[in-house]
Amino acid sequence: MEKPQPRSFAQALGAFASGADTPRDFLDDCIDEIDEREGDIQAFTALQLDAARAAADASTKRWEEGAPLSAIDGMPIGVKDVIETADMPTQMGSPLFEGWSPGFDSASVHALREAGAIIVGKTVTTEFAATRPGPTRNPYDLTRTPGGSSSGSAAAVGCGMLSGGLGTQVVGSIIRPASYCGVVGFKPSLGGINRGGSHDYMSQSCQGVLAATLEDAWQMAIEIVMRAGGDPGHPGLIGPPVAPDAQKPFALAFLETPGLEVATSSARAALDETLESLRRAGVTIITRRDSKAVAALEDALHETLPLTRQINAWESRWPLNTYVDRDVTKLSKGMVDRLQEAEAMSVEDYRARIVRRDEIRALFAAVSAEAAACITLSAPDVAPVGIESTGNPIFAVQASLLGVPALTLPLATIGGLPLGMQLIGYRNEDAALFSAASFVQGAVGGIAID
């Protein structure tokens, strides 16, 4: 098997402008990959290839006329199947929604189409973007999980069946699968991308993107936000109309969160090598031993997983109670358990949890005086064997709880399988995070552990 290869649309823009390449040819390459690999990988719940070809022809014509609608005009994109599309069902990984067609595009999908992007298909999600996995397999090794819950978007972008994918993250659902599938994953600041028309209601949930490169990820996100904004009441992703330039961070905080206790020695070695490369490039790396702010934050972050679980449970009481009313046999045990946890909580319990979350968010904000961003692993290891679990979200969940932007960069491989390094930035300073990430990527290059 050839090594899976993500497909950058941003890098093809020059060729589209010169006529050396066209969006239709670009799409046909994606479709070739789909023809070859989708049978094994099962990244999609629905495909619209004829409509995609027609849209790519229209995009090609616009490029030929020198009038593309945007820098993602013609970009082949997949949509996580909790996000509504007018022309394909939205099934949420649940038999309760089998064949369910809302008939309208989500805010983000509509914005993508306005920008000329090509919606190729719907991608597999775990049940309601939570735990029960779909059938998708990792393009690097079919015996392994692609991660979740944005499983199909990660797998399809990982092997170039798509150039970009929409995902969502409330625990680890973008950062983890992106790490496992060797792509860039971007979870924006809270409310950064409009969730309208997405079945994604929780207060720390975010819509985000998976793509081949930082440039692709930024472009996809900013083109959506210019047309659809962020969540109502939020400023939406703030930054320039093309990806921010690399900028050397004055310091990075290495977060020694609970995940390190379960990280494999190989993953830890890849992280150490990353940090060493950054030090050699002149970046100060601070830890809890250098900074009281980092130490205070890390102590609090031990609460991240239970706090997230309880907040998500209360916030899932509805609609899960309506799903149980409809047909409890179509729900996983995990969803029924979550509802039970919610029903054992009071609104006062919930309030105490979100107050505590705000306190931890303030501890994180205090680190900004000492480090331009934080760095850690994206997952404790490469994708585990088996598709009955989507892996451990222990490294990804911190940024979800904190409501801050996170990026995973495909900087390392272990035995040929990808592992991401994660950078975490400050609320509504997503552009600065991209600048730091771009510098880190240049400084670290690629790390290969046997």
CB of 161 to a copy of itself, least distance (A): 27
Contact between 322 and a copy of itself (CB under 8 A)?
A: yes
Residue 368 is among the residues annotated as catalytic for this protein = no
Residue 419's beta-bridge partner residues? 412
Query: Of these, 35, 64, 201, 302, which contacts a copy of itself (CB under 8 A)?
Result: 201
Question: What is the number of residues in the chain?
Answer: 450
Contact between 351 and a copy of itself (CB under 8 A)?
A: yes
> Per CB under 8 A, which region of 55-63, 102-110, 293-301, 407-415 contacts a copy of itself?
102-110
Query: Of these, 21, 38, 73, 105, which contacts a copy of itself (CB under 8 A)?
Result: 105
Task: For 313-371, give the DSSP string.
Answer: HHHHHHHHHHHHHHHGGGS-HHHHHHHHHHHT--HHHHHHHHHHHHHHHHHHHHGGGT-
Q: Which of 59, 80, 198, 400 is catalytic?
A: 80
Do β-strands 373-377 and 417-424 pair in parallel, antiparallel, or remain unpaired? antiparallel
Please give the helix or strand (H or E) that residue 185 lies within, else none: strand 184-187
**282 phi-psi bin (left φ>0, alpha ψ -120 to 50, beta other):** left
Q: Is-contact 188 147, C-beta < 8 A?
A: no
Query: Of these, 107, 253, 301, 331, which contacts a copy of itself (CB under 8 A)?
Result: 107
CB of 100 to a copy of itself, least distance (A): 9
Looking at the Cβ atoms of 179 and 316, the one nearer to a copy of itself is 316
Window 380-419: residues binding a copy of itself (CB under 8 A): none
Query: Of these, 323, 395, 426, 439, which contacts a copy of itself (CB under 8 A)?
Result: 323
Contact between 354 and a copy of itself (CB under 8 A)?
A: yes
Q: Which residues contact 148 (CB under 8 A, 6 or more apart)?
A: 125, 126, 131, 133, 134, 173, 176, 177, 390, 391
Cα(3)–Cα(381) distance, integer angstroms: 19
CB of 351 to a copy of itself, least distance (A): 5
Contact between 326 and a copy of itself (CB under 8 A)?
A: yes
Contact between 347 and a copy of itself (CB under 8 A)?
A: yes
CB of 79 to a copy of itself, least distance (A): 14
What three-state secondary structure class fits 11? helix
Looking at the Cβ atoms of 132 and 361, the one nearer to a copy of itself is 361
Query: Of these, 47, 202, 372, 419, which contacts a copy of itself (CB under 8 A)?
Result: 202
Cα(153)–Cα(11) distance, integer angstroms: 20
Residue 8 is among the residues annotated as catalytic for this protein = no
Q: Which of 173, 266, 378, 435 is catalytic?
A: 173
Window 219-248: residues binding a copy of itself (CB under 8 A): 225-230, 232-236, 238
**143 phi-psi bin (left φ>0, alpha ψ -120 to 50, beta other):** alpha
Contact between 314 and a copy of itself (CB under 8 A)?
A: yes
Looking at the Cβ atoms of 228 and 421, the one nearer to a copy of itself is 228
Cα(427)–Cα(174) distance, integer angstroms: 18
CB of 96 to a copy of itself, least distance (A): 10
Structure tokens at 127: 């049940």
- Which single residue is written with the structure tokens 């994206």? 378
Window 254-293: residues binding a copy of itself (CB under 8 A): none
Cα(401)–Cα(434) distance, integer angstroms: 20
CB of 444 to a copy of itself, least distance (A): 33
Looking at the Cβ atoms of 16 and 186, the one nearer to a copy of itself is 186
Contact between 325 and a copy of itself (CB under 8 A)?
A: yes
Residue 80 is among the residues annotated as catalytic for this protein = yes
Cα(128)–Cα(432) distance, integer angstroms: 32
Q: Which of 8, 59, 149, 316 is catalytic?
A: 149
What three-state secondary structure class fits 86? coil
Structure tokens at 263: 């990280």
Query: Of these, 5, 11, 143, 321, which contacts a copy of itself (CB under 8 A)?
Result: 321
Structure tokens at 21: 């390449």
Residues that bind a copy of itself (CB under 8 A): 86, 103-107, 110-111, 114, 194, 196-197, 201-204, 225-230, 232-236, 238, 314-315, 317-319, 321-323, 325-326, 346-347, 350-351, 354
- What is the set of active-site residues? 80, 149, 173
